[in-house]
Amino acid sequence: MGDYNVFHIMPWSGSYAIYFFVIGISAAMFFFSAMSWYRPEFKTLRMPAFYVSFVLLACGGLLLIGDLTQPLRFLNTMNPAYLNLSSPLAWGALNLVSFGLVSVAYFLTMRKNDEVMSRRLAVMGALLALGLPIYTGFDLTVHQNRPVWNTPLMPVLFVALSILSGAAVASFIAKAKEEKLVVMLRSLMLWSAGAVAAMLVSLLGTTAYGGSGSELTFMLMTSGSLGVIFVGLGILVGTATPIAMLLTPYGKQHTGIMTAGALLLVGGMALRYSILIGGQIVQTYF
């Protein structure tokens, strides 16, 4: 409000969007590696997907810790005396560390060729991997005063974005001759992108009709400062175009799937960024 106000900053900067992006891909890649024990078409992805997942987990973890103003105090989140379980961040920290530990154990058992244990760890890791996009969604959704964030869609949207981005990265690793895998990745991309598109329609609807703060956020995200990123890159280039492309004959070829994958990655990043920043713009003026 006001003709004069002190300036407030956005607490969560764009680096959180990068974190959401990499951790989403990491989770999905682990999921694909775990799937390889149960679905033969994923077998060739087992090790490469795991490596990508682990590297991105390390990058995401470092990014998150680096963004704290007291990076070494990230250990406080592991202190049972401090842990506040009403905060989704506390659950997220536990989820992240457990996922890291299970990933290391999974790698070691795979190196030992211990199939029984690897299968068990794959299931455990896949469940923890699913928790990563869910907790990042909850991080946003619990803030009742934030337009766009405060909707039950967020955790589900982040899961769909994670599968979509992971399948896009996996399409670059898969070889054209692995037909069954490529077909499976195409359908994963298509269904998750379709789910994202449906959720975006709901999100835009509830934001546009959600009271003055939400209405202003809708305006800023569609025709305001975030319009190019959200509508241009996120919706048109990064969701609608790849869906249309995947439905054409070209989208059934490996190169077409990879092209759609590249666009989905652009869209996935743009959507995460614009949702993160969009929920904070209006508040900085209050």
Our CB check for another protein shows the closer of 74 and 172 to be: 74
Q: Kindly state the smallest distance separating residue 147's Cβ from another protein, in Å.
A: 10
Q: Kindly state the smallest distance separating residue 2's Cβ from another protein, in Å.
A: 4
Our CB check for another protein shows the closer of 69 and 113 to be: 69
- Are the CB atoms for 226 and 274 separated by under 8 Å? yes
Query: Can you read off the two tokens belonging to residue 177?
Result: 């001759």
Residues in contact with another protein by the rule CB under 8 A: 1-9, 11-12, 67-70, 73-74, 76-77, 79, 82-84, 86-87, 89-90, 92-93, 139, 142-146, 211-213, 216, 219-220, 224, 280-286
Measure Cα distances from 277 to 12, 13, 46, 218, 270 in Å.
8, 7, 35, 12, 11
Q: Kindly state the smallest distance separating residue 99's Cβ from another protein, in Å.
A: 17
Q: Residue 203: which H helix or E strand, with range?
A: helix 179-208
Side chain identity at residue 261, one-letter code:
G
Centre a 10 Å sphere on the Cβ of residue 87 and count the other Cβ atoms it contains.
Answer: 14
- Are the CB atoms for 5 and 285 separated by under 8 Å? yes
Our CB check for another protein shows the closer of 241 and 283 to be: 283
Cα separation, 155 vs 145, whole angstroms: 17
Our CB check for another protein shows the closer of 239 and 280 to be: 280
* Residue whose tokens read 């990014």: 63
Q: Kindly state the smallest distance separating residue 224's Cβ from another protein, in Å.
A: 6
Give 114's DSSP letter. -
Residues whose CB is less than 8 angstroms from the CB of residue 92 and which lie 6 or more positions away in sequence, other chains included: 132, 135, 136, 138, 139
Our CB check for another protein shows the closer of 10 and 123 to be: 10
Q: Kindly state the smallest distance separating residue 247's Cβ from another protein, in Å.
A: 36
Q: Kindly state the smallest distance separating residue 162's Cβ from another protein, in Å.
A: 21
Our CB check for another protein shows the closer of 137 and 166 to be: 137
